[in-house]
Structure 1
């Protein structure tokens, strides 16, 4: 029996998606905290993600290195223009996936949990179809 052909870039795309997951989660959280509280501190992120301050500091350092965030010692974390754009795009994907799952009949609690992972791996094509489906269901 012939082995089923996998798309050439399937695994590569998954690796890239995994590499950007943390950055997307962090910039989305930073944007939400700034929106809700006016400021985002390392301690806020540590509490939000239930991780240590060291983990947050390392992640924020990577965000700075990659041009998504800025901060100084003992100062709030802020997003760069690039970081704000990534946060907006991530939030949009999240909202579409969440709405799609709820439209399918998934409970809000489960949809909220599931959308956290799916949002990072959904292709633009699939996302557009999800968005269209939700519009038809709600329309």
Structure 2
């Protein structure tokens, strides 16, 4: 059982946080702190002229609200939205905040995921704490 879990939540097509949240509940010690984190990646420069003026702030606000709702399902749940490279930001947050287990979703690899470039592979390879990779249940 872990006392501070960091659960990554991605807001992209096939990603679903349900499995990761289920795993976090199973691994959390009574009264554990559970932090849900989403990392917003920088938009490609060529897209900036096509996006509404406050798109980043609006997206940040919407993701924070959604994460907060998910975090409310835990006794000591918290939501964090940061910006940057996902693997780097998750690893930094974990180290700086005393996280003892990172829960990250992974999917069955297709040909584009066979290389060790995925966020999950980077986190597994570099984390200084335990990492639980939550597979989709299908």
Q: Taking structure 2 as the reference length, what is the TM-score of the superposition?
A: 0.23
If each structure's strand is expressed as a fraction of its own residues, which one has the higher value?
2
Which has the larger Rg? 1
- Higher helix residue share: 1
Q: TM-score, normalised by structure 1?
A: 0.23
